[in-house]
Amino acid sequence: MSEERTGVITLQGNPLTLLGPEIKVGDKAPDFKVHEGLGNIVNLDSYEGKIKIFNVIVSVDTPVCDIQTRRFSKEAENFPEDVEILTVSMDLPFAMSRYCGNAGIEKLKNVSDYQFGSFGESYGTLIKENRLLARAIFVVDKDNIVRHAEYVPEVASEPNYDSALEVVKTLL
């Protein structure tokens, strides 16, 4: 049974329960198992030697998640090859692929936690009430140490992009 955390996030003012631990700066990044595309299962080691930005969203089909994903897509154009931006959600790989195709997003990797809930439980973003992921950003360095962790308190609000991006710049 996963650790339950209350009082951390809300959706339109209504409190939600997060499953899994709170990840903090300085923690070793937890492993996970997600789908990258159809059938291709990846984990933390799949991105070995890279700086990783985990752009955690509720669904590509919601307005704030669209804004957040497009923002990281734009930022990806300025980063070298050793920075990997992964948009993580419970969306099916089909939906993620459709969304990226329609939005012209090519530089982000989209990973789906729909089958295992592994990322959500490992990073403490799995919402108990609806089995979606809470909005969050994690920056993990090449040695898999968490250098930035933000759980957005109100799911319908945008994260602090600048704070995460400043951390990435210090790791380059």
The residues that are catalytic are 65
Q: Rounded CA gap, 72 and 28, in Å?
A: 23
Q: Rounded CA gap, 135 and 62, in Å?
A: 12
Query: Tokens representing 145?
Result: 């140490």
- Buried/exposed code over 123-143 (b: 16+ C-beta within 10 A; e: otherwise): bbbbbeeeebbbbbbbbbbee
Query: Tokens representing 60?
Result: 């590509």
Q: Torsion-angle region of residue 154: left (phi > 0), alpha (psi -120 to 50) or beta?
A: beta
Query: Tokens representing 139?
Result: 């920056």
